[in-house]
Chains A and B, each alone.
Chain A
């Protein structure tokens, strides 16, 4: 066994730690003259708008606040601890220098509504970042506004909409096509932009089925959303034909850049025929994912589509940087300001740190690592590697635990949970849906061969254990902060608790019904 033990604090909710009269705040004194001008500020509020009962926030001292959250943090696995092979999520190293850089007060106090003459430095950074991303993706124009990948997809789908509207074809072009292996955000974004979604199947090689695509397209087709490499980690070799099929019927080709990491410096979506791309900077460009966000999802387009990009657009007139707001064809704003600039700045630093050679090397190391895992798992009992045998994978591999389930009753989910017990994060599981008992593994370039070996060994050991003593596996995890959790209870109307106040209310009504 690995000897891994995650901290298991019996840490109460912060509300349960509250002690009336304790404070953790420290506010400046208000000058006498200022106070005297309005001695009782609350009485200046119209009575209908005064808060009558204070919010039930906890009362703690400052050391207790910190202790609480540090204990919580110890019950959270992170990429700085070790392999985090969540397929499609590109959990790579988040350089600490970038965290330092964004604390620079010349950035952190900068307000988005300052005059352009006062923000030339940050605009230059954003402009250069746009140029670099355009070069990396082979696109002509970039908007940095979307706050995440899905937000970029929404903006991209709106651009598809605007393009067809301009050609007076929106009334008929109602459909966006997505492969069955697509991420859930693709169809959801298309729907939010007002399109109907048509799904095309993958063929036995795990690639878009060209015949199926051919019969799916029509004059109703607005566009196709695709990742390449796809979510199986396979490069869509027929990308040229795909592009022709879509363009021949007048549709646009959209690139979901979540899987760009494998392509850096090798192949660019713009050259493959894509018209619109989004990037996930919190994946490919090394910004921390923050336990769920903030990320950044810039979008890029080919020249003809650039009038439709969100407004305003960071621009340069040869002498000064400015925000271009004269964009009559734009889809409008998708963010209140210029997007998650804090994240953009970190990616700027990352690209500067890696350089063109570094980015290309990162892609190579990521692909080497993924294929190394695949090679080492070949022939390990319990797992199979569906689709396209004898084909190298790109940034990620998808294996199936179907044989293990058949032989031992141990599922992909069980395997994932058993990995947690060994101090490893689990792969993405049950996605893509076209693979039964899928385990989607993306090691990234960040991890050493030793760490990969630890993972491979763990998978092997779990399979062996499943054959010898399946109960042991199905009981895992035991060494994490919590063992398996009751999801039914969490979602059941009678027990559902989405906040402390809901929890208290539900507990009270339960104890009265029991009494």
Chain B
């Protein structure tokens, strides 16, 4: 399969199970993200949000079930995993920038190694993406010289430099000092308004309400409830959702 057919979903998860030994973390997840959609995932700690996200680009190997990305089964051994991954940007809670490389090199290394872009082209794309996250002047800095918020914006720019079709965010603001959260959310907000397909695990209910097209509530490895963020947040149907929201809102 080459270009995704019209109507193919960006991400489609069917009956996904993930066990770590005896520990059953995901217990039958059915779920999808359409192209251009922003889906936010919330739920208590340990409910399997990160695991679900990591199954999408197969950083975690599902125990059973299907994960389709643009119609391609990522769990199939025939799939070119690296190619699929290069089309899925991922942003981690702990940034995971490469500390031994300059900001610019962080953004160009995978462009050159994976997409085989030449140095000049990769540099141009990297600089444009640094501008986009408001860090055009920090290309030559090293990650350790940046604040957490700046590092996370560099991490977003690094993912964007691959020109991915979709972005996965795993609690991108949870490791940040409160005053630095806003800048990162602003970048994500503008990405969403540009039509980027996004799956965002977050505790930022304000962001979910304002930016999300869909909100998914998970607990104990299953999806308890999903719907328009406004509806789920203001009138949760399920008792477990109510209990969770009453704690965090």
The answer to whether A and B interact is no
Interface residues of A (CB under 8 A from B): none
State the B residues within 8 Å of A (CB): none
